[in-house]
Structure 1
């Protein structure tokens, strides 16, 4: 158990006074699902690396397989999993003492697996470092707490609150609304504290049972790890109280969608925010970053909105951006500049959906900003007023988004060409799978009419 000396203090505290029963060796696949192996703590302590087949990155969200293996064919060679002990955290919902440890993935020759989402994000962060820059992010997580739904043909319903009534919509920022599902929130807080995660704030959003959790700013990889863990802990907390937590972009018809807003700032080698000059004014780099987001985000939407359902969130005048306008303290723009002092000046990307893989969503957004810095690209004029009146500037469906992503060679260079190749094939396969499904709308309106 000498390896436990290298794990965070929260994980060590969790183990005090008891025996470690199990360790979960986990990685993120393309959708952001935790894949890996669970083993007794004693066996984990006796090994330094583990193995998984690379085919986990060729699987679609439905469990199908994409023809993305490349020239070598579908031979399913093993990837090497090396534990990152700094990511070790408790699984407080487990019956016995269990730790989760995120692993890094490499090929047999030692090179990072280019398709692994955590490696994609690390690649983008390293591209910043090569320019003497350090990106900082702060994600916001929106999700719904809903009634159990065991029949996919049935519409999703709001959860029943402690009053015995369904959670009410259009109650944004209501503390009474949050109190309706207070026991779930209490478990989220307790789990997060045990796991060593700091929640900045929890608020009620505009949808029925829709909640937002804000995380404090920090290193992109560390924050993506936390979002990856948070999705699981939130689901586990909900299941304790006879409800589901869903991160679908648009789970309930007529209600707002769920986003993962990403706040960005960039530090120089001295630790100063490059978006602010010494006198506190906005810099050219600040404008270039915005310009990069405006120019390149359309090609990245397939990563930020990865499913057919994702595009149901992009509804004009319905709490989601359909544009790439930028504005100061303007929530109708896709790119918002929040109120802040100069040291905290940042850009908020409001386009990413909560259904995206956090590693990939953050990587794609940072890559677009870095392209703007490299190209010294200027933004369009600031939007003053209601940006919903502006023309739509993003893909309107997954097929269009995949097409734009597939042609984005500058974006591929940062994310990795092999990742881009595999991702486009997997997403195209998922879309083809969707086209085989006949929806209730089609049966209702077309069966006896056309």
Structure 2
């Protein structure tokens, strides 16, 4: 008979264990480099991924041994990855954009408050989100995390603190190694392909029990908190809601959630996609953003007066979104595919109207108590870079408050079957974006010119591809 297996015990004495500082057990974040060294050592971390989001929200960066990470090593990246299209093409110079001739190094500065494990790796691995600065320490204006920080800082100067809560929809689909073939829904535990019309169905969620368990486990290990998870209307379409909080922290969480969900899906031989419209005939995927603004000194929501009524700031915030969000649409719907989601007679709005608990409007004011009054931006799609989507939405609201822009009357009926208030395609959206000087100033003109150039280049790349529709209807008929 085999002796019972010994329980693994960390090589430490009882006294040493009692002296273990509490911060090393934090699942997410430390305060300084000394704490980072102890945090990594306590977990036996071998490698660390130093990552930062590019314009598409893709993780770029470097991996290194943890011993090198904590030895005051200087980290650098070229500017090129932040001036590149989703297909790896670089835009042409012009319209205020110029590619730097020297392509000099930018410095990666780890934000130690984001330090966490990478739970899907076999070897003990950690990750940390980094900011980018120039060699003299100035923030790099055109990188997404710095764009959001710039907008949050503009609120801070006024004594205000934005509070946001994103909701992210995504699809699970069968593996699709050949991009010429349409995506199809996955097979769940029932053994049958998943069908549509399963909105809020618990049985629909249960089809993917093991995969969802991995999402929860991976998220918990990283200190990421899921508020709720539901099955949406589409076949294999799920939605994750996050707890409300600081915009930069929430953008970081969405950035990491996307990595987490993709990795969990791959573990189960499935793809997770955040494309806005991945399957023809199925609903698109959104990233709805709930927003409120707090007076930092008073600690109260400025959308609500002392008597519980709506304030001028509330209406001005909505007025700013109504006027400027159409110009910022390219940051909320960043790809050609994004505009396939924005169609009439759908829950994805093509208007700039607002209403009380009206899901056909672009800007919905959900039912809540006065202290929880907020504005939900229903326009962004799930393919949007979370840093840029939050920056754009909050910037538009702040411009409205600064300029005291009036809001139009709320819509009491269906708002998505009449006129179309938003650009219908990527190039039109870029044109509007470039025409809004006030928005460019708020976001940073270097970012605005870089982002517009990237989007024009992406459209030109898309135009090189011949679609199945063209082959079906034009090949033998014209």
**TM-score normalised to structure 2 length:** 0.91
Of 125, 144, 147, the match for 2:174: 147
Cα distance in structure 1, aligned partners of 2:25 and 2:387: 21
Of 17, 30, 52, the match for 2:55: 30
1:188 aligns with 2:215: yes
Cα distance in structure 1, aligned partners of 2:101 and 2:193: 48
Show CA shifts across 1:138-172 (max 9, x none). 00000001110111000000011001111120110
Cα distance in structure 2, aligned partners of 1:5 and 1:41: 21
Q: Are the equivalent residues in 2 in contact too, given 1:21–1:96 (CA < 8 A)?
A: yes
Of 306, 323, 348, the match for 2:334: 306
- Root-mean-square deviation (CA, aligned residues, Å) is 1.7
- Distance verdict in 2 for CA 1:224–1:8, change over 3 Å: farther
Cα distance in structure 1, aligned partners of 2:413 and 2:257: 35
1:322 aligns with 2:347: no
Alpha-carbon distance, 1:389 to partner: 2.7
Deviates more, 1:369-378 or 1:43-52: 43-52
The aligned counterpart of 2:9 is none
The aligned counterpart of 1:429 is 457
- Distance verdict in 2 for CA 1:5–1:399, change over 3 Å: farther
Tell me the SS of whatever aligns to 1:410: helix
Alpha-carbon distance, 1:313 to partner: 0.2
Show CA shifts across 1:199-241 (max 9, x none). 1000110000000000010000000000000000000000011
The aligned counterpart of 1:212 is 239
Cα distance in structure 2, aligned partners of 1:299 and 1:216: 28
The aligned counterpart of 1:384 is 412
Alpha-carbon distance, 1:107 to partner: 0.5
The aligned counterpart of 2:10 is none
Alpha-carbon distance, 1:318 to partner: 2.5
- Distance verdict in 2 for CA 1:398–1:257, change over 3 Å: same
1:52 aligns with 2:80: no
- Distance verdict in 2 for CA 1:208–1:51, change over 3 Å: same
Q: Are the equivalent residues in 2 in contact too, given 1:137–1:219 (CA < 8 A)?
A: yes
Q: Are the equivalent residues in 2 in contact too, given 1:25–1:83 (CA < 8 A)?
A: yes
Cα distance in structure 2, aligned partners of 1:139 and 1:74: 38
Alpha-carbon distance, 1:71 to partner: 5.4
The aligned counterpart of 2:470 is 442
The aligned counterpart of 1:61 is 86
Q: Are the equivalent residues in 1 in contact too, given 2:24–2:42 (CA < 8 A)?
A: no
Of 12, 15, 20, the match for 2:45: 20
Alpha-carbon distance, 1:315 to partner: 1.4
Q: Are the equivalent residues in 2 in contact too, given 1:262–1:348 (CA < 8 A)?
A: yes
Show CA shifts across 1:334-369 (max 9, x none). 110001111110000000010010000000000000
Show CA shifts across 1:162-191 (max 9, x none). 011111201100000000011111111101
Q: How does 1:78-89 map to 2 (within 5 A)?
A: 78-89=105-116
- Distance verdict in 2 for CA 1:195–1:72, change over 3 Å: closer
Cα distance in structure 2, aligned partners of 1:164 and 1:325: 43
Cα distance in structure 2, aligned partners of 1:65 and 1:6: 43
Of 372, 381, 385, the match for 1:353: 381
Cα distance in structure 2, aligned partners of 1:436 and 1:84: 40
Of 143, 151, 154, the match for 1:124: 151
Cα distance in structure 1, aligned partners of 2:268 and 2:57: 24
Of 356, 360, 363, the match for 1:332: 360
- Distance verdict in 2 for CA 1:430–1:72, change over 3 Å: closer
Of 438, 441, 449, the match for 1:413: 441
Cα distance in structure 2, aligned partners of 1:14 and 1:258: 37
Count of matched residue pairs: 447
Alpha-carbon distance, 1:48 to partner: 4.5
Alpha-carbon distance, 1:67 to partner: 2.9
**TM-score normalised to structure 1 length:** 0.97
For structure 2, list consecutive stretches of 5 or more residues without a partner in the other structure. Answer: 1-20, 30-37
Q: Are the equivalent residues in 2 in contact too, given 1:121–1:360 (CA < 8 A)?
A: yes
The aligned counterpart of 1:397 is 425
- Larger radius of gyration between Structure 1 and Structure 2: 2
Alpha-carbon distance, 1:73 to partner: 3.7
- Distance verdict in 2 for CA 1:72–1:95, change over 3 Å: closer
Of 252, 258, 266, the match for 1:225: 252
Tell me the SS of whatever aligns to 2:300: coil
